């Protein structure tokens, strides 16, 4: 067994060194646009050792984007009072003081309204260029006024592993894994893991043997014990979903270039379950502005009204499996990564 362990360790080291060598010629990364350490869960490709368990996700009535609010706070921004939301349906007007947060006075985030209660998961990069503060559901209705939302602690480091943040169900990052502006429209592939919200009442498991979450998530929704009705123990908050390498875009009969781009990312990097869709909808998590960019570039909205896109997204979700051996010491299942590791980060001048 010791010999086998040594061989496996050597094989993993060789795989990582090979992947690192493949990206040696690439320019360093902008940490804001492509954040976190190369071996962060958000940047590690699926490995050849991945054990796939069918997720059993079905077609949804619609699809959409869970918009993430990502901000770089300029130096000299004033500190404003920060309060817990009044309620999920009305965020502004809360009176429970949570401290102060530096924020530009012109930053406005509308309140929720009837039939519109977005997660509004937010990440603020502080003026030091490395500290990330996490808030959700973010609301700020008045220029120069107070900020509403729950702070997620501790702060994290833009140059660290970036695992945690402001997705309320899972406590996973809003910045890590977010589809950024340009990634769905540029010719190159998306080179990081994605994030999805699924209909937990239908798909997520809760039981004595697994309380609605698994690593890297640290929790599930507060209502998970009552409302998570899924029967597949593998599917919970924190599950890494991926399309097995035996599946092809042709076998799924994908019609849209947008779905083919998502297919490649889901095959090579996968997507973490980070929040509850709370209805029959398949969500991808993306930076504010991506939805408008998709409409401008492709001529349809990412809102389920395009029958072609909805059929493609449903095909992708039905093809997903859980990487059941995803773990802190074997992110993506271990073995040879399917893609090169992310290049080094540009470090700020000291």
Question: How many CB atoms neighbour CB 196 within 10 A?
Answer: 24
pLDDT of residue 9: 35
Determine the Cα angle at 240 with ends 21 and 325, to 5°.
Answer: 80
How far is Cα 202 from Cα 323, in angstroms, rounded to an integer? 20
Task: Give the residue from 224, 316, 321 showing the smallest Cα distance to 275.
Answer: 224
User: 347 pLDDT band (50/70/90 cuts)?
Assistant: confident
Quick check: 14 pLDDT over 80? no
User: 19 pLDDT band (50/70/90 cuts)?
Assistant: very low
DSSP 254-318: ---HHHHHHHHHHHHT-EEEEEE--SSEEEEEEETTHHHHHHHHHSS-SSS--HHHHHHHHHHHH
pLDDT tens string 212-252? 999 999 999 999 999 999 999 999 999 999 999 999 999 99
User: 349 pLDDT band (50/70/90 cuts)?
Assistant: low
pLDDT of residue 274: 98
pLDDT tens string 71-128? 999 999 999 999 999 999 999 999 999 999 999 999 999 999 998 999 999 999 999 9
Quick check: 18 pLDDT over 60? no
Quick check: 313 pLDDT over 70? yes
Quick check: 259 pLDDT over 80? yes
Quick check: 24 pLDDT over 90? no
Report pTM: 0.92
What DSSP state is assigned to residue 333?
Answer: G
Give the containing element (helix H, strand E) for 101.
strand 97-102
Looking at the DSSP bridge assignments, the partners of residue 80 are 101
Looking at the DSSP bridge assignments, the partners of residue 179 are 286
Helices (H), the chain: 2-22, 200-203, 224-227, 257-268, 290-298, 307-319
Quick check: 8 pLDDT over 60? no
Quick check: 177 pLDDT over 90? yes
């Amino acid at each position: 067994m010791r010999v086998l362990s040594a061989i496996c360790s050597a094989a993993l080291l060789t795989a990582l060194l090979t992947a690192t060598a493949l990206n040696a010629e690439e320019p360093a990364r902008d940490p804001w646009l492509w954040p976190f350490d190369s071996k962060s869960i958000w940047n590690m490709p699926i490995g050849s050792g991945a054990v796939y368990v069918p997720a059993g996700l079905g077609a949804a009535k619609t699809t959409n984007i869970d918009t993430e609010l990502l901000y770089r706070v300029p130096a000299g921004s004033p500190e404003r009072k920060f309060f817990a939301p009044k309620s999920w349906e009305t965020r502004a007007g809360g009176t429970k003081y949570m401290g102060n947060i530096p924020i530009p006075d012109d930053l406005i985030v509308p309140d929720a309204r009837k039939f519109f209660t977005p997660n509004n998961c937010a990440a603020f990069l502080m003026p030091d260029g490395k500290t990330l503060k996490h808030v959700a559901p973010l609301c700020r209705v008045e220029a120069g006024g107070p900020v509403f939302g729950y702070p997620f602690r501790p702060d994290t480091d833009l140059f660290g592993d970036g695992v945690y943040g402001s997705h309320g169900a899972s406590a996973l990052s809003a910045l890590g894994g977010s589809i950024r502006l340009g990634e769905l429209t540029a010719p190159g592939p998306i080179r990081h893991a994605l994030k999805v919200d699924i209909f937990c009442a239908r798909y997520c498991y809760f039981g004595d043997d697994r309380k609605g979450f698994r690593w890297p998530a640290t929790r599930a929704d507060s209502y998970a014990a009552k409302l998570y009705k899924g029967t597949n123990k593998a599917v919970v908050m924190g599950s890494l979903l991926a399309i097995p390498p035996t599946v092809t875009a042709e076998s799924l009969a994908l019609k849209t270039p947008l779905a083919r781009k998502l297919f490649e990312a889901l095959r090579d990097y996968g997507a973490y379950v980070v929040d509850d869709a709370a209805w029959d909808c398949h969500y991808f998590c993306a930076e504010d502005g991506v939805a408008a960019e998709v409409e401008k570039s492709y001529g349809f909205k990412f809102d389920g009204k395009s029958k072609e896109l909805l059929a493609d997204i449903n095909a992708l979700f039905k093809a997903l499996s859980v990487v059941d051996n995803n773990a802190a010491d074997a992110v993506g299942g271990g073995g040879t990564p399917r893609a090169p590791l992310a290049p080094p980060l540009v470090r700020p001048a000291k």
